[in-house]
Structure 1
């Protein structure tokens, strides 16, 4: 975990699969993930060391489907046979309350790490465990939380995992470039929702996102500019008529009628229906 803290910076928070498999400890290779399984339980250790969620595109599986329980805590499924040694490793991690690492796929062979995390409940009937992302969630009793505690836990899950994963998946899909102005400084990029996440249709899927620099993200959210369903940018009429400095002229006005730069993978491109719905909201605000 100390190595991960040094390796994964705010500017570069993701880690490659080959780095995790080739991790060196005391001069020897000591993989932090299993080469084939989702749970890493090293030989000679009784508890699991890490869990892994494989990257899947939007069209393969709905993002985070069935991953959050009624208590707001994340769930992780057992590996095959409930008595498999890796699942025993999760049970031991729960009994001893030792911390684990969770590697969440944001692209093929690329992971966003979350650590430390804890197993706070083992649900044998459902063949899964409940996972806490921080100390606050550790003290919530799985299955017996109040509505206020559940909402609080859901907010932690959204802020600590769903939002960072969404951001990294969108930025990776757009190859670390603003879809409007092509700015390539990762630290200045956001993952903008087409339909806001507060909306029931605002799912954390790449097809509901755009990689935008901070100025264009803010302009998009404030309906200063919109995106037509054919991926063409439209700047609000009153903004086009304003006279101001170079940021207005080059940063906003010159975006009018420019086409978005889209991801290479068709599955990662903006959903047409969501773009159309958001564009109508933009037109209504003009």
Structure 2
């Protein structure tokens, strides 16, 4: 029989610190993901305390009145997510209640963590049964009328560090932090995983040189951090794509090198082989479920052409 758990504020905080330290040392995939089953093995003071609930999205360990973690499940391409956690007008992330009852025990568990200013772990679904952990995060607001909590993705987003968020500049600052801490890491790992860490234009596989590029930039309303809006590109071709030197035809995925670059006769090897040689080549595509969206490619294609 497992020893009885003595729950008090100090114990709760110590458990969270230990859980996050354990998670930091946990073996992960090359994309930084953890398998769901790995999260069942955490123990604290001889008591097994899985970090994720097998069924529910909010994890409140037995005997505790506070939640320890929450998760957003992976949604395959073309499917509708069961919950849509979104950015608020203040640039801060929201996390939806479980169900529509603010007094559901799981919602109360998150609310108690909020009231006690306790850090939590957020597991972001990266693939089936794989998650990208982000921690520590904090709940800094409760919006029962909208059935959601307000999330601070970093210390700098906590109210004592931001003050009231009232101006457009403040909102943009908070949105940048949210995207940097939550959206971009998941986008990056999912895109690179889909393309097997190889450049979609040249096939280079040096992982330290491969980046996740947006098709529609994340500064645009439709610049969603989804695999269909991303490409794995080496640093050279990421820069060439962003600057319009290389376009991708949205119908046949053929690469088009800008004419002035294509006819340059300086004969620099990188120019000849790294840029000019790509003209007319076809994009190296991932599994069909992860193909870049043709409407997104069309938006970028027309943008570069100035239409």
- TM-score with structure 1 length normalisation? 0.87
Matched, 1:264 2:284: no
- 1:165 pairs with 146, 165, 186, which one? 186
Matched, 1:151 2:172: yes
1:97 Cα deviation from its structure 2 partner: 0.7
SS where residue 276 of structure 1 aligns?
Answer: helix
- 2:155 pairs with 135, 159, 173, which one? 135
Matched, 1:114 2:134: yes
Gaps of 5+ in 2: 1-19
In structure 1, what is the equivalent of residue 74 of structure 2? Answer: 55
SS where residue 161 of structure 1 aligns?
Answer: helix
Q: Is the 8 A contact 1:11 1:187 kept in 2?
A: no
Q: Is the 8 A contact 2:84 2:96 kept in 1?
A: no
Q: Is the 8 A contact 2:156 2:162 kept in 1?
A: no
CA distance in 1, matches of 2:22, 2:303: 46
Matched, 1:20 2:39: yes
Kindly report which structure 2 residues correspond to 1:86-97, keeping only aligned pairs within 5 A, or say none. 86-97=106-117
Q: Is the 8 A contact 2:85 2:96 kept in 1?
A: no
Gaps of 5+ in 1: none
**Which of the two has higher C-alpha Rg?**
2
CA distance in 1, matches of 2:45, 2:85: 39
- Count the aligned residue pairs: 284
SS where residue 22 of structure 2 aligns?
Answer: helix
The structure whose RCO (Cα within 8 Å, separation 6+) is larger is 1
Moved more, 172-181 or 17-26: 17-26
Matched, 1:99 2:99: no
**Which deviations, in whole Å up to 9, do the C-alpha atoms of 1:23-72 show, x marking residues without a partner?**
4556664321111110111112221110100111352248x955122222
1:47/1:14 CA distance change after superposition, 3 Å: same
SS where residue 70 of structure 2 aligns?
Answer: strand
CA distance in 2, matches of 1:92, 1:198: 35
In structure 1, what is the equivalent of residue 213 of structure 2? Answer: 192
Moved more, 235-244 or 18-27: 18-27
Moved more, 159-168 or 6-15: 6-15
- TM-score with structure 2 length normalisation? 0.82
